[in-house]
Amino acid sequence: MGRGTGEGMGAVFWSDLGLAPYRETVALQGRLRARVLSRSLAGYILFLEHPPTITLGHSLRGDEGRSALRTGLSELERAGIAVVEVDRGGKATYHGPGQLVCYPVVSLKELHLGVKRYVGRLMEVVVEGLSELGVAAELDPSYPGVWCQGAKLAAVGIRVEERVTTHGFAVNVAPDLAAFRHIVPCGISDRPVTSLAGLGARVPAREELIRVLLGQMRLKLKIEPAYLAPEQVWAEGKE
């Protein structure tokens, strides 16, 4: 991807962080958000995977959060699955290897987008990107996220503070779907979760899926992301 970012828009950088612990990436997003605000950048787009982690959105606290878990905390700990309360919207989600996560830390002011339109554009990015790969995904006005054959294929949940976003979306490529049985996914108890592998679709290489999603972000968000090496991203987050 080239470095130009559109008339009047600050720079947008993207990176693939590989496998990254959940709490560390939440902290990184916070630091990058501060840089976006202080330097008038359009932002950063982070792709990564997480070790097995259950996250509980800000609507789930205390007893309500535990009610979203179908497995006890001690059993989850023995299974090596972390449980983290987070500041994004949405309810319970699962992250783990085989799932590609995308965290855009972007300025809605620079992108000339409101929150609702931004979320809609993110979901369009996933739907159109999967279409390029031959997967007929769709949106459901009654439920958040991206769906295929009545099952959830990608989750979306963001936070916006001072018009800069954190968190984002997660596409189930080939994760262990049994792990989703530990939660009520996104508060929806009567619809299953699926993956590209679970659908019998072609499983793209990580690099291909990132390329396709970035291409859709160029179109939907009207940006031109420039590559930034992972070590540079972590370093920028520390400055």
Structure tokens at 162: 């001072």
Distance CA 129, CA 143 (A): 20
Structure tokens at 71: 């497995």
Query: Which residue among 26, 153, 186, 201 is the active-site one?
Result: 186
Active-site residue flag, 186: yes
Alpha-carbon distance 12 to 143, whole Å? 30
CA–CA gap between residue 15 and residue 225 (Å, rounded): 9
For 141, the enclosing helix (H) or strand (E) is none
Rounded Cα distance, 15 and 24, in Å = 16
SS3 143: strand
Listed in sequence order, the residues at least 6 apart from 3 whose beta carbon sits closer than 8 Å to its beta carbon are 11, 224, 226
Residues identified as active-site: 186
